[in-house]
Structure 1
Amino acid sequence: MLQRYKNILVPVDGSREAELAFKKAVSVAKRNGDETTLHLVHVVDTRAFQNISSFDTAMVDQVTETAKKTMEGYVESAKADGVKNIDFTVEYGAPKAVIAKDIPEDQKIDLIVIGATGLNAVERLLIGSVTEYVTRTAPCDVLVVRTDLDNKPALKKDAK
C-alpha cells in the first residue's frame, strides 16, 4: 500500500536547497491527490535582530513583506503545477522549534520536505543545522532533499 500524506510542510527561505525541496514537495503533493495540502512556511529568525542596538520594527516589516512576496510566488507556481490545496505562513521565532514542533502539531503535518543544509562541519558544530534538528525531533516523516526532480545530485559539495 502506498503511503498517503495529507499535510506536507515545506520550509522555504529563498535558498537553492529550499527551492529543490519545494519542487519535490509539489511532486509528492500531486502524486498524493487532491486531498493533500501543501503548507509553506518562512520563519523569520528573531534572534538575528537581538544584536541590533537600535532595533527598528520597520526592518522586521521589510523582511516580512519580502517573505510574503516570495511565498506568493511559490503558491502561484504550485497551483500552475496542479496543486489545488496550498497555503503559506510567515512565522517568527527559532526556525528549529517552529519547523520541527510548533507547525507539525498545529497543522497535523505528516511529512516535512526540507532542503539539505549548505553548512560545513564547523558551522554545524557551532550553530547547528535546522535540517539535522528537524530530522531528529519532528513527530512525522521528514524528507531531506539533495537531488533535483530527476534524482540527479543538485547540490554542490564544499570545495576543498
Structure 2
Amino acid sequence: MVNHYRKIMVAVDGSKEAELAFRKALGIASRNGAGLLLVHVIDTRTFAIVEAYDQSVADRADQYAYELLEQYKTQASAYGLKDVNCIVEFGSPKLRIPKDIAKDHNIDLIVCGATGLNAVERFLIGSVSEHITRHAPCDVLIVRSEKEFS
C-alpha cells in the first residue's frame, strides 16, 4: 500500500532556497491531492541585534511575511491547488516548525530549503533545516537543487 501525503508544510523565508522548496512542494501537493500550509516564522532572535528595538521592527517583519505568503498562495492557486493556507509565527524557526506547527496541524511532510547559515553559526547552533530533520514528527524533504520533480 502506497502512503500519500495529505498535509504538506513548506517553510518559506524569501530566499532562493525557499523558492525552490516551494516549487517542489507544489508538485508533491498536486500529485498527492494534498493541502499545502505555507509557513513563515519571524525569528525573534534577530530583534535582539537591533539596539533600539521597537514595535515597528516587528510590524515591518510581520507585514513582509504576510505579503510573501500571499504571493506564494496566489502562485499555488494558479498552479491548481485548492487547499492552501498560510501561517505567520514569531519565535525560533528551528523550534516552531517541527515542534509546534507540524504537530498542531498534523503535517505529514515538511519541505524546506537547505538554507545556509555561515560555517561558524552552523557549527555552533546547527542549521534550521538540520534541526527540522532531527525533530520533526513526520517526513522532511530538504531541497538542495533546482531540479524539478517530474
Common fold: TM-score over 0.5:
yes
SS of 1:50's partner is helix
1:120 Cα shift? 4.6
Aligned to 2:47: 49
Aligned to 1:156: none
Residues 23, 149 of structure 1: 8 Å contact kept: no
Deviation track 1:46-101 (CA, whole Å, cap 9, x = no partner) reads: 11112333221011101110111111000000110011100101100011111111
Unaligned runs of 5+ in 1: 152-160
Structure 1 letter corresponding to 2:142: V
1:73 to 58, 65, 71: 71
Hey, what's the Cα distance between the residues in 1 that align with 2:70 and 2:131? 27
Hey, what's the Cα distance between the residues in 1 that align with 2:120 and 2:62? 30
Aligned to 2:21: 21
SS of 2:84's partner is strand
Structure 1 letter corresponding to 2:148: D
Hey, what's the Cα distance between the residues in 2 that align with 1:148 and 1:7? 23
Unaligned runs of 5+ in 2: none
Deviation track 1:3-31 (CA, whole Å, cap 9, x = no partner) reads: 21111111100000000000000000000
What is the root-mean-square deviation in Å for CA atoms of aligned residues?
1.4
Hey, what's the Cα distance between the residues in 2 that align with 1:50 and 1:119? 18
Hey, what's the Cα distance between the residues in 2 that align with 1:125 and 1:85? 38
| Alignment of structure 1 residues 7-156 onto 2, 5 Å | 7-33=7-33, 36-150=34-148
Hey, what's the Cα distance between the residues in 1 that align with 2:59 and 2:84? 24
SS of 1:54's partner is coil
Larger Rg: 1
**Which 4+ residue blocks in structure 1 deviate beyond 6 angstroms?**
none
When the two structures are superposed, what TM-score results if normalisation uses the length of structure 1? 0.88
Pairs aligned (count): 149
Hey, what's the Cα distance between the residues in 1 that align with 2:23 and 2:5? 16
- Residues 45-54 or 12-21, more deviating: 45-54
Residues 39, 88 of structure 2: 8 Å contact kept: yes
The 1:149–1:27 alpha-carbon spacing in structure 2 relative to 1, beyond 3 Å, is farther
Hey, what's the Cα distance between the residues in 2 that align with 1:54 and 1:38? 37
